[in-house]
């Protein structure tokens, strides 16, 4: 299966991707994680995009498309992939049609008004990349899954979150219609507990297997 996870910042793409990837044995490819790793390692890509990402805007299309194209060409993607955070606009979607058109696009639906608190209370793991929320973890510094160090993303501040929501509404939301027209869009309710959202996703994917 070639799966794209679509959804606003904080809708639960990363959280669900961990579960989907494990259950269906698909490589989880998060462009956000790839960029953050580059920033942390101070690679040329990381240095170029740091300010853009921290502020909540999108990295350049040509660079992003090149990274994803190369990643999808690796052997672990020969039976499919799980893309989290790509494509994010029409240019990227058109590019993906050429090198790996998705068979299912899961759209995690939830009103933006419900997401700010999810983001400002999020803790991310440096090691396993898991996403957690301070309301649900005992130790705000230590990953409950792998024991890695938890950190607060630079773009999880109210100003950057506002910008990310604006970018999402303008550039990414139109992809819902784009994939609807291609008959590959499946929407699930993201405003439910994590396990229930996953249940809805599994129901969709089981029918497609
Ligand atoms: P990216 O890392 O993809 O960020 P995003 O799209 O803003 O989404 P998030 O990772 O913030 O949210 P999520 O949907 O994964 O939610 P999560 O599961 O963590 O991208 C970051 C940046 O990189 C972009 O802004 C851009 O600059 C750049 N970039 C990335 N891709 C790009 C591209 N293709 N082109 C150009 N630039 C690109 O959950 C969030 C919180 O909610 C957590 O605390 C979690 O515990 C909690 N939570 C999750 N599900 C539930 C639930 N069901 N109920 C209650 N709480 C929940
Ligand atoms: Mg994410």
Q: What is the CATH number of the domain that holds 38?
A: 3.40.50.300
Counts for the chain of helices (H) and strands (E), in that order: 9, 8
In sequence order, the 6+-apart residues with CB closer than 8 A to the CB of 19 are: 198, 201
138 within domain boundaries: no
Residue 69 has a pLDDT of 98
107 within domain boundaries: yes
Q: Which of 16, 17, 32, 90 to mutate to test the pocket of ligand 1 (most atoms within 8 A of CB)?
A: 32
Residue 209 has a pLDDT of 84
Identify which ligand lies nearest to the alpha carbon of 90.
1
Number of domains present in the structure of the chain:
1
106 within domain boundaries: yes
Is any ligand 1 atom within 6 A of the Cβ of residue 38?
no
Residue 11 has a pLDDT of 98
20 within domain boundaries: yes
116 within domain boundaries: no
152 within domain boundaries: no
Out of 2, 36, 88, 118, pick the active-site residue.
Answer: 88
CA distance 174 to 89: 8
Is any ligand 1 atom within 6 A of the Cβ of residue 122?
yes
Minimum CA distance residue for ligand 1 atom 6? 9
In sequence order, the 6+-apart residues with CB closer than 8 A to the CB of 97 are: none
Residue 2 has a pLDDT of 98
| pLDDT per residue of the chain (209 residues) written in tens, 0 to 9 | 999 999 999 999 999 999 999 999 999 999 999 999 999 999 999 999 999 999 999 999 999 999 999 999 999 999 999 999 999 999 999 999 999 999 999 999 999 999 999 999 999 999 999 999 999 999 999 999 999 999 999 999 999 999 999 999 999 999 999 999 999 999 999 999 999 999 999 999 999 98
Is any ligand 1 atom within 6 A of the Cβ of residue 10?
yes
143 within domain boundaries: no
CA distance 141 to 162: 25
CA distance 161 to 128: 23
**C-alpha torsion sign, points 170, 172, 176, 182:** positive
Residue 121 has a pLDDT of 94
35 within domain boundaries: yes
Is any ligand 1 atom within 6 A of the Cβ of residue 56?
yes
Range of the domain at 47: 2-111+157-208
Residue 207 has a pLDDT of 94
């Amino acid at each position: 299966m070639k799966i794209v996870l679509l959804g606003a910042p904080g809708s639960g793409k990363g959280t669900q991707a961990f579960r989907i990837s494990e259950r269906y044995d698909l490589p989880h490819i998060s462009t956000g994680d790839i960029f953050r790793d580059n920033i942390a390692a101070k690679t040329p890509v990381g240095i170029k995009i740091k300010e853009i990402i921290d502020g909540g805007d999108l990295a350049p299309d040509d660079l992003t498309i090149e990274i994803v194209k190369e990643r999808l060409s690796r052997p672990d993607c020969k039976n499919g992939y799980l893309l989290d955070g790509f494509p994010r606009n029409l240019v990227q979607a058109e590019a993906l049609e050429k090198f790996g058109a998705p068979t299912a696009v899961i759209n995690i639906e939830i009103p933006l008004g419900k997401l700010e608190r999810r983001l400002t209370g999020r803790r991310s793991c440096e090691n396993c990349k898991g996403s957690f929320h301070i309301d649900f973890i005992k130790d705000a510094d230590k990953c409950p899954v792998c024991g890695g160090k938890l950190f607060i993303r630079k773009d999880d501040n109210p100003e950057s979150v506002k910008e990310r929501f604006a970018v999402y509404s303008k550039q990414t939301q139109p992809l819902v219609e784009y994939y609807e027209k291609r008959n590959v869009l499946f929407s699930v309710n993201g405003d439910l507990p994590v396990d229930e959202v996953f249940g809805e996703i599994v129901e969709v994917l089981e029918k497609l297997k």
